[in-house]
Amino acid sequence: MLSAFKSIPTDMDYKGQKLAEQIFQGVILVSAVIGFIYGLFVQQFGWTVYIMLAGFTVSCFLTLPPWPMYRRNPLKWQPAVPEASGENRDKPQESQKKKKHK
Amino acid sequence: MNTVLSRANSLFAFSLSVMAALTFGCFITTAFKDRSVPVDIHVSKVMIKNVDDFTGPRERSDLGFVTFDIYANLQPIFDWNVKELFLYLTAEYSTKSNALNQVVLWDRIILRGDNTKLNLKDVKSKYFFFDDGNGLRANKNITLTLSWNVVPNAGILPLVMGSGHKSLAFPESYETAKSY
């Protein structure tokens, strides 16, 4: 079961992370301002807390799951080096390591 | 911010900081408010007895009985930063042996949402009005004042005295009641 959870991809690319941070900071600040003004108007601090919690829930929903909008700029990796020359380089390194261990 | 846990961590920490700032804002909007209202106290009956006070060192002490009325409107004190009020009625006087005596006779807690207009008649004191000695008999000037402690959501807990007090005198001899 746990392996099924771990296999769900939850990563975002860098621009997506920046966008996610801006979104949640914006949502929480806006809900804080609305909550403060409404609480001051009805003279009940409980309403301020409730509006803040609503803002928190909305921003959780918007930024915690990896929506596609956070994955629009994936990193451009270098193309893989073909296998043949890679093996030739590996072998002399491995033999050097064995000598050191003795 | 690459994993869900890391994003959840940032989100939660940011929310807590913003919540702390909002609470400070709530405190600042009510920190410099005057929390005193006018209070009307009447006294209907006064009596003294001379009894053994087992908590004190001497033989017999004066025990006073006061029946009073209180009228006050506490509605202006309650705002969004007040959770409850702790009211207490104090009797203040001076005797030959002590320059200043203060005794709490009665107290009450008023939560936000309770009835804030006090209209109490013929209330007996909740606590014993013992004197440290025999200084209550024929004492001409005993002042009753109503004060309260404001318990806020965020900030300082001020002790405020209501404006308005009542002075009364105790009778000359024991076991005789004096009506006002």
Cα angle for residues B102, B75, B113 (degrees, 5° grid): 100
Q: If we measure between CA atoms, which residue out of B159, B50, B58, B57 comes closest to residue B107? A: B159
CA distance B133 to chain A (A): 49
Mutate to test the interface with A, among B6, B80, B81, B116 (most CBs of A within 10 A): B80
Higher pLDDT: A24 or A14? It is A24
CA distance A92 to chain B (A): 37
Question: Closest partner residue to B7 among A29, A56, A64, by Cβ?
Answer: A64
**Residue A6, pLDDT above cutoff 90:** no
How many beta-carbon contacts under 8 Å exist across A and B?
63
**Residue A54, pLDDT above cutoff 90:** yes
Question: Closest partner residue to B11 among A24, A48, A66, by Cβ?
Answer: A24
pLDDT by position in tens, chain B (length 180): 788 889 999 999 999 999 999 999 999 998 888 888 888 888 888 888 888 878 777 778 888 889 999 999 988 888 889 999 999 999 999 988 888 999 999 999 999 888 888 898 888 889 988 888 888 888 888 899 999 999 998 888 888 888 888 888 888 878 777 777
- Secondary structure letter of residue B140 according to DSSP: -
Is A52 within 8 Å of B80 when comparing Cβ atoms? no
| DSSP assignments along A36-101, one per residue | HHHHHHHT-HHHHHHHHHHHHHHHHHHHSS--GGGGSS---PPPPPPHHHHHHHHHHHHHHHHHHH
The helix or strand, by DSSP H or E, that contains position A16, with its residue range, turns out to be: helix A14-42
CA distance A43 to chain B (A): 4
Instruction: Please report the sign of the dihedral spanned by the C-alpha atoms of residue B68, residue B74, residue B77, residue B78.
Output: positive
What residues of chain B lie within 8 A of the CB of A43, using their CB? 79-80
Is A44 within 8 Å of B14 when comparing Cβ atoms? no
Calculate the dihedral angle through the C-alpha atoms of A32, A34, A38, A41, rounding to the nearest 10 degrees: 100
pLDDT at residue B102, rounded to an integer? 92
Question: What percent of chain A has pLDDT above 90?
Answer: 37
Is the pTM above the cut of 0.90?
no
Q: If we measure between CA atoms, which residue out of B33, B41, B35 comes closest to residue B165? A: B41
pLDDT at residue A9, rounded to an integer? 75
CA-CA distance, B174 to B54, in Å (whole number)?
A: 19
- Note the ipTM here: 0.76
